[in-house]
A and B are shown apart, each in its own frame.
Chain A
């Protein structure tokens, strides 16, 4: 059998007599079509292999990634890592890698290959759907990705995990101030909804013509799925034990403390049907699993790797990151409502379909602001009114988590430019949201 980077890296790690190692190859085959002004603007193709190496000895550790995969480069790189490890002092936070187990179970959620995928034709389909729905100008990107992760550890664990994902992001314009956004996220080509995403973007664009600027104040706000997903990706990141240790988490430090409305249950899934970031094992070689982060509004568990778990007396959750545990795929458990009911229940509010540029005054307190973009609508007396634009949500995520009054029963996977951690998300009604706007 032909040897590759992972073999040479493993052999070199063994020859250096390190106490622990992981070696991993990440293979990527990615096709992307980007479009703007109803036309393709560029087609991209990436074919790359990257080697990841982790070494440990005597409470000293080091991490590395290398994209040159020739034997000499790999061996020199591992030697460099070894020397670097020895140049540092021992760490107080340290836990050994997990020992061998029963192996890994892949949930089978992937296409066999990207072969039937025609990026240009799919992009054209999305553009046409948006134009037919009333848009005059359409932009977006369509990405198809096949990943193969092959990993071995000094504890005898070895795994191989192959996935496919398809991400479509469409933005349609009906005029300069009227735009709509559509997303489709799938792990199988058959589930990619190109026309639906394009149509949705076009319809929102058409409905959002001639927006008015709302008054500053406190409103009930319907967070469309894309907006709510942005909120909950930050919940997922805040659940990392590393974030908690470094003041970058707005979630409670202790399990059982209240973190939000009792309507909210939030989970992280290492593997879930339709979850584009699924993996059967984490960076330490531990099998991934499902972790409940918020359970009926109470802090349930943080996300841990071996080191953070040992430090906090918790069980690892299969979310390593050697340094920082990370969420894989976030799920917000659905409610029983829908947009129509949320509108009916709103006396004075705003429906926001998309947002961007979320920034925090403090990750610890969760004080933040974000800018709605694309279609948004004023709601008065339980009815949707005129389109609105030119305002900002200026609030606190912990406060909003406590003010969720309705959750939709329908959900979509959301991942796009602003939401990089995938979230399975329903629509959501939040009371008492502060809206501000710029001085002119």
Chain B
């Protein structure tokens, strides 16, 4: 990566100006996106974002800054200005910022590609989208899907991280992301479905994700919901959630409340806080079946990395183990506050954003049941295969998932489609109601928003099918 010399020079300038600690990150994102609107191509887009992001600590004050006016001069000017900023604001840092002690590393890592992402041009992306359009239209039926919108994006993220503690890390991650919105309409009724998937690797990821089959199936399901879904009558019952729902549950009500910066209040005015406190390690928040992890090292995942954006090695984190809080997600800043070590959760989405505590790939651990076994044990219930509307309060305790493809279960048998069952439930009730987890594990891709300025970070979330016993389900 060019400009490494400038980044290293910035560290020297920061130390010379009086910084206690400094780190610099050259960060490049090169993206191509194609889109298709109701069968018509929109102009393809290309983005190349490249610059230097830098943090300095001085007298317990933390300053972050970024510039794309590179070269030794630009980098030095940034470093000097950040030291000045930190020093002049230090008196107002009533609580002094510190970084947890971590080892230094020299490493270069990347995600292998069979076919390089950069070699796939916009025309090929558009061609792939047009293939998908054909599948959707044939599956939905004549005139049943009046609105279709798809995006297919390839990208390569490259970084060079250097710190005054001697860490030097270079990385390269190519990714692919697909998103689409299908809107079906029939006899005045409307059903909408958002589909998102993606992963890391070369262009082979597109075929590996099975997007064509997925879209075809999704379009057919929208048509079936329009034609045959019956009104759902709520009540207390057993619920089986599919991997997509289990994944969003893990992300929203386990991953987010386990982010240490939320727990210490650093995100209080934006993304919110947590129902957990710093003393809650080991707290029972679910039953023994509640097993949730976050793992940046899942091969092929959207959230894949081997070192985080503070130069700390990535590893799997056990967030809930047998119903008890296992560990929080930590970066070096929060780890110092919690008097522990970072577990490698610092991520920044571009050069002009500070590294903050983020999830990577968050999932419910698979169990030992088969889906058929789960269904056969339910006298009255509902299967929420996937969802559309969802949200959760800013302490991550009161959450809601509204089913999209959902089936009634009666006397151990799967029955017809039902419309919009609503699972509105507290975090402890949810994770305390698990009756079983199936053997398979499936993931979906998403972009997780957090921070101020906002950062959208690529993640996976997923899980097995998960049985919840005796929960209240409403109707929209």
User: Which residues on A are within 8 Å of B, measured CB to CB?
Assistant: 32-34, 36-50, 54, 61-69, 73, 77, 80-81, 83-85, 87-89, 91-93, 119-120, 123-124, 137, 139-141, 143, 169-171, 173, 181, 242, 245-248, 322-323, 356-365, 367-371, 373, 390, 392, 394, 417, 420, 436-440
Would you call A439 and B424 a contact (CB within 8 A)?
Answer: yes
Residues of chain A contacted by B51 (CB below 8 angstroms)? 48, 67
Known contacts: A89-B41, A371-B394. The answer to whether A361 contacts B183 by CB under 8 A is no
Would you call A363 and B192 a contact (CB within 8 A)?
Answer: yes
B401-441 to A contact mask, C-beta < 8 Å, 1/0: 01000000000000000001010111001000000000000
Known contacts: A36-B268, A37-B95. The answer to whether A247 contacts B42 by CB under 8 A is no
Would you call B426 and A438 a contact (CB within 8 A)?
Answer: yes
Would you call B398 and A45 a contact (CB within 8 A)?
Answer: no
Known contacts: A41-B266, A361-B420. The answer to whether A92 contacts B68 by CB under 8 A is no
Shortest Cβ gap from A29 to chain B (Å):
11
Would you call A364 and B183 a contact (CB within 8 A)?
Answer: yes
Taken together as a complex, chains A and B put the C-alpha atoms of A362 and B476 apart, in Å, by 12
B172 within 8 A of A: no
Would you call B266 and A46 a contact (CB within 8 A)?
Answer: no
Taken together as a complex, chains A and B put the C-alpha atoms of A137 and B95 apart, in Å, by 13
Would you call B69 and A40 a contact (CB within 8 A)?
Answer: no
B105 within 8 A of A: no
Would you call B44 and A88 a contact (CB within 8 A)?
Answer: yes
Would you call A369 and B400 a contact (CB within 8 A)?
Answer: yes
Would you call A141 and B38 a contact (CB within 8 A)?
Answer: no
Residues of chain A contacted by B391 (CB below 8 angstroms)? 357-359, 369-371, 392
Would you call A436 and B424 a contact (CB within 8 A)?
Answer: yes
Would you call A367 and B472 a contact (CB within 8 A)?
Answer: no
CB pairs A–B below 8 angstroms (6 shown): A48-B68, A87-B123, A88-B41, A120-B88, A242-B37, A359-B389
Tally chain B residues at the interface, Cβ within 8 Å. 91
Residue from the list B62, B78, B190 in contact with A41, Cβ < 8 A: B62
Residues of chain B contacted by A363 (CB below 8 angstroms)? 181, 192
Residue from the list B86, B191, B352 in contact with A43, Cβ < 8 A: B86
Residues of chain B contacted by A356 (CB below 8 angstroms)? 272, 394
Would you call B474 and A436 a contact (CB within 8 A)?
Answer: yes
Residues of chain A contacted by B46 (CB below 8 angstroms)? 62-65, 77, 80-81, 84
B392 within 8 A of A: yes
Would you call A360 and B388 a contact (CB within 8 A)?
Answer: yes
B178 within 8 A of A: no
Would you call A437 and B269 a contact (CB within 8 A)?
Answer: no
Question: Which single residue of chain A is at the shortest CB-CB distance from B124?
Answer: A87
Residues of chain A contacted by B191 (CB below 8 angstroms)? 362
Residues of chain B contacted by A373 (CB below 8 angstroms)? 272, 393-394
Would you call B44 and A390 a contact (CB within 8 A)?
Answer: no
User: Which residues on B are within 8 Å of A, measured CB to CB?
Assistant: 32, 34-35, 37-38, 40-51, 61-70, 78, 81-82, 85-86, 88-89, 92-95, 97, 121-124, 126, 146-149, 181, 183, 185, 190-192, 264-272, 351-352, 354, 388-394, 397-400, 402, 420, 422, 424-426, 429, 452-454, 471-472, 474, 476
Would you call A40 and B93 a contact (CB within 8 A)?
Answer: yes
Question: Which single residue of chain A is at the shortest CB-CB distance from B63?
Answer: A43
Known contacts: A61-B43, A84-B122. The answer to whether A246 contacts B48 by CB under 8 A is no
Taken together as a complex, chains A and B put the C-alpha atoms of A45 and B453 apart, in Å, by 11
Would you call B424 and A438 a contact (CB within 8 A)?
Answer: yes
Would you call B82 and A45 a contact (CB within 8 A)?
Answer: yes
Residues of chain B contacted by A47 (CB below 8 angstroms)? 65-67, 69, 78
Known contacts: A40-B61, A62-B122, A371-B394. The answer to whether A68 contacts B48 by CB under 8 A is yes
Question: Which single residue of chain A is at the shortest CB-CB distance from B66?
Answer: A46
Known contacts: A36-B269, A66-B48. The answer to whether A248 contacts B181 by CB under 8 A is yes
Shortest Cβ gap from B18 to chain A (Å):
16
Known contacts: A246-B149, A368-B389. The answer to whether A139 contacts B63 by CB under 8 A is no
Known contacts: A36-B268, A89-B126, A170-B269. The answer to whether A323 contacts B35 by CB under 8 A is yes
Taken together as a complex, chains A and B put the C-alpha atoms of A92 and B40 apart, in Å, by 7
Residues of chain A contacted by B267 (CB below 8 angstroms)? 36
Residues of chain B contacted by A63 (CB below 8 angstroms)? 43-46
Residues of chain B contacted by A437 (CB below 8 angstroms)? 398, 424
Question: Which single residue of chain B is at the shortest CB-CB distance from A242?
Answer: B37
Taken together as a complex, chains A and B put the C-alpha atoms of A360 and B402 apart, in Å, by 10
Known contacts: A43-B61, A245-B37, A357-B393. The answer to whether A37 contacts B265 by CB under 8 A is yes
Question: Which single residue of chain B is at the shortest CB-CB distance from A94?
Answer: B43
